[in-house]
A = this chain, B = another copy of it.
Amino acid sequence: MPSDPQVQLLLTGNEIMSGDTVDSNSAMIALRLADIGLGVYRKVTVGDDSALLREELEAMAGQADTVIVNGGLGPTVDDLTAEVLAAAAGVGLVEHPEALAHLEDWCARRNLPLNAANRKQALLPAGARVIPNPVGSAVGFELALGDCRVICTPGVPGELRRMLDTIVDELGRSLARTAQRHILRLQTFGLGESTAQQMISDALPDWPAAVELGFRAGAPQMEIKLAVTDAADLPQRDRCERQLRQLFGDHIIGEGDTQLAARVLELLQARGETLTTAESCTGGLIASMLTRIPGSSAGFHAGFVTYANDIKTAVLGVQQTTLATHGAVSEQVVREMALGALERSGADYAIAVSGIAGPEGGTEDKPVGTVWLAWGSVDKLQTACLLWPVERGLFQTVVAAAALDMVRRRLLGIASEPRYFSQRRAR
């Protein structure tokens, strides 16, 4: 079994260097390489500067088995890839009949003349092999530079995507094996990265070296990744997984890309039940998180954004006296919001949220970051008051997620409180 080739990426383009364009191409390439078990060792990005580009290309080709170059294949003067690769290989640029035929066809189908700028895209290093571009005008190409295989790809994401089908397929076949990194991803909510790391260090001091552990803290979820390179280490990974599941228990939402909203909808659908939302400080975000999921209409029919007090009364039937006595951010009000939403929507479960997102509106008694949640059914409505004193947008995101997490726990029959309650509970 041959060892993995070392792959490096070389990206070129002034627009990615200046920050005017965010590079998503290298992520696309890395994800596709991961499908055939290849990692990217190193990535270098430079502007449209032929001397620097050549220097980086030569350095990379001296280290790596495969270099994928992205960008610089277009028709304009700042597209330098073919010229630089030819110079590095000590060959000339020649018009490739296959590339020219592609260009002629591409122009003809668009009723465009083949102008000089376009024709430049048929000039490739002598000896290069053409990689077809099913969507754009510029073909890709491949050439050996010493022992290194250099593959040049277009910067337009839609063209790159299609060309990667060919490239990844060929690379996979040339590896002539099925070796692949075995990755398991667990999605969690309510654990910080440092808390998770500390819990693992404390509880599992003998973590095996073969099992790579990674964390990705997003808002609102955190991903824990377990990876092994050798299939023989899978039993070790499985043991680690069982240990993590014991350690983090009901903070684990699911595997892969599972999102809280999708998990809640899945649990609802399995029971043929529905959820409604009554939102004040989250302002429609919970409804939006739910409806972003395809097929959400099975479990979610109605949501209410009652941002003003009189709307809480008019739309959800919250008593004016309740608002006057306890204030809009109170247990009594979120209870009445939830009950009003349940009655008006006919849903089985409700989430109600009222809090102070800031930056204005806090008081000594109820500072910015205070939020009351109610969740559950007409029979059993639960409530909690939490304190999350963070920036407005993040507050809305974590509160919306916490509300969905409460419903997830309820639907799963989890009785214990989440860890974050002990830290966040305000009263």
Q: Which residues of A contact B (CB under 8 A)?
A: 14-24, 26-31, 34, 39-48, 52, 56, 74-78, 109-112, 115-118, 121, 135, 137, 156, 158, 192-198, 201, 213-217, 223, 225, 277, 279, 281-288, 290-292, 294-297, 300-308, 310-311, 314-315, 344-346, 357-360, 387, 389, 391-394, 396, 423-424
Contacts and interface: CB of A to CB of B under 8 A. Distances in A.
> Nearest 4 CB-CB pairs, A to B?
A283-B291, A284-B287, A19-B30, A303-B305
A217 to B, nearest CB: 7
5 contacts: A41-B52, A117-B197, A283-B292, A284-B290, A304-B315
Given A18-B34, A44-B42, A109-B389, A284 B288 contact: yes
Contacts of A39: 17-18, 47
A66 to B, nearest CB: 15
Contact of A115 (B23, B194, B307): B194
B294 A301 contact: no
Contacts of A19: 26-31, 34, 40
B214 A14 contact: yes
A116 B22 contact: no
Nearest to A78: B214
Contacts of A359: 294
Nearest to A345: B311
Identify the interface centre among A156, A158, A198: most chain B CB within 10 Å of its CB: A198
A357 B290 CA distance: 13
A269 to B, nearest CB: 14
A18 B214 contact: yes
A4 B279 CA distance: 51
Interface of A is mostly: mixed
A47 to B, nearest CB: 8
Contacts of A111: 387, 423-424
A192 B112 CA distance: 11
A76 B118 CA distance: 50
Contact of A292 (B26, B121, B392): B392
A77 B292 CA distance: 34
A117 B194 contact: yes
A137 B75 contact: no
A193 to B, nearest CB: 6
Contacts of A286: 284
A52 to B, nearest CB: 7
Identify the interface centre among A16, A279, A301: most chain B CB within 10 Å of its CB: A301
A197 B52 CA distance: 23
Contact of A44 (B44, B196, B215): B44
Identify the interface centre among A286, A315, A424: most chain B CB within 10 Å of its CB: A315
Given A30-B19, A109-B389, A292-B283, A217 B156 contact: yes
Nearest to A26: B19
Contact of A22 (B27, B40, B283): B27
A360 B307 contact: no
A115 B223 CA distance: 20
Given A17-B40, A23-B27, A314-B346, 7 more contacts: A18-B214, A19-B29, A20-B31, A111-B424, A116-B198, A283-B292, A301-B307
A195 B117 contact: yes
B42 A43 contact: no
Contacts of A360: 294-295
Contacts of A307: 291, 296-297, 300-303
Contact of A17 (B30, B303, B423): B30
A386 B379 CA distance: 44
Contacts of A217: 74, 156
A272 to B, nearest CB: 14
A257 to B, nearest CB: 10
A287 B307 CA distance: 10
A256 to B, nearest CB: 12
Contacts of A56: 42
